[in-house]
Amino acid sequence: MIFTSLEFVLFFALVFAVTRVLHNSSAEKWFLLAASLAFYMSWSVPCVFLIIFTSVVDFSIARHLSQTTDPIRRKRGLQTSLILSLGLLGLFKYSNFLLENLHALCSLLGWKAGPWHLDIILPPGISFYTFGSMAYVLDVYYERIPPCQSPRDYTLFNALFPKLLSGPITRGGELLPQLEQRVRAGADDIEMGLVYILTGAVKKMVIADQVAPHVNLIFSNPAQFDGLTLLMGLLGYTAQIYCDFSGYSDIAIGCARLLGFRLPENFQMPFSSRNITEFWRRWHISLSRWFRDYLFLPLEIATRENRYPALRVSINMMVTMLLCGLWHGPSWNFVIWGGIHGLALSIHKLWTIWKPTAALKNHRPYQRVAACGSHLLTLGIAIFPMIFFRAPTFASAMAYLHRLFAWPRTGTRLDSPYILGAVVALFLTHLVVRKDRNLPLELPKISLPWRIVGYSSLSLVLVLLGASDSSPFVYFQF
């Protein structure tokens, strides 16, 4: 069931109705857990045992960490949890990637061997719930949060269906207290949740789903198209993945809000950013915070004795983003994408340390030129590496890049009104709307007549321009 399908609408309506009539908190949480596992089984029945196993193990280890003061036993418990979580993630997601690269290395060295491949499935959402569970154990280990006392609540924390398959990556300190207190959704929460869902559906069905067929056509055979079409394909994919993922996040946040839970924001006008560091504070926010808090900052602490702080930060930034790229998928394309962003973040950090243009900061003409230039540079860094994100192989990505920069006038011209409309809509929105504003939070607070106009307009756009066939969310593959 995808969020924009009729099956999910009926499923969620049933879940919402039952939770509204259940007045016993324990019964309601048992029902939500059963509904979440049923939702997961609609994608994969066998893999539901994996998420239950992960939840039971990490719940038990966290309880053990809180009950012992022996640093050696606590450290061993943490190591056991991390090895198990990363081991399962590596087995299901990266084993064939590793085998393929080992086979290529053996062939390069002249060792003859048949292709190595494990017939293994990728559990849906494993990257998201694994990271959430790892964050919980780490937070308990460092005594940032108390351990959960209920295995039911912890399993529900891991498996809550609005966030299960593609985030936002929610931490124990954000969701577990809500499960313990279990505050029901009021009228304001219901209205705000519906606005989130409506906004997300417009992003997903009106923009992402309408753009997807033309983007797929361009990327399937870039040698067929001229330079302008290739540029439109790249811009179209950027619009598609942003509206697809931010739309999913909005629907997830809205569904959770209707059930009485508040999930963290995942996107906040990222294309309005003035530098690449700000971009990553606004793009996939829950993942950015995870890598910052659980990888980059520990690396900084571990290497704090380094005599060259600028070099230390750059190396740690690069390592973090390379692993962030690999998190997205078992492909060198994702590693390259992460490496490009890591290099850009490192350069920006060095720039802010050295401040080569500090003497010009008080000159108004320079400020205007620098602001415009930095914004365009940030957009370029955010958009062009998307070729590696979208192309199926490194060779196809390089072929796309080579033909794009060669800017051939020969080839088919694909004039896509969907891509053009999506790009213009995103550009105007990020240009006109202040980047810290959030429509789903603001719309329910204005006067009733204007709210009716806003809701009617969004609904009309969805009905008239929404795609009839909804494609799977892009981030399900991660």
315: left (phi over 0), alpha (psi -120 to 50) or beta: alpha
Q: Would the CA dihedral through 432, 438, 443, 445 be positive or negative?
A: negative
List the beta bridge partners of residue 414.
none
Q: State how far the Cα of 172 lies from the Cα of 296, in Å rounded to an integer.
A: 20
Burial call 361-396: b when 16+ CB within 10 Å, e when fewer: eeeeeeeeeeeeebbeebbebbbebbbbbbbeeeeb
Q: Minimal CA–CA distance to 388: which of 324, 337, 325? A: 337
CB atoms under 10 Å from CB of 122, counted, come to 17
Q: State how far the Cα of 458 lies from the Cα of 289, in Å rounded to an integer.
A: 31
Catalytic residue from among 214, 328, 341, 348? 328
CA distances to 35, 124, 136, 426, 476 from 120, in Å: 26, 13, 27, 39, 17
Cis amide bond preceding 71, omega within 30: no
Q: Is 348 a catalytic residue?
A: no
Q: In a 3-state reduction of DSSP, which class is residue 470?
A: coil
So which residues are the catalytic ones?
A: 328
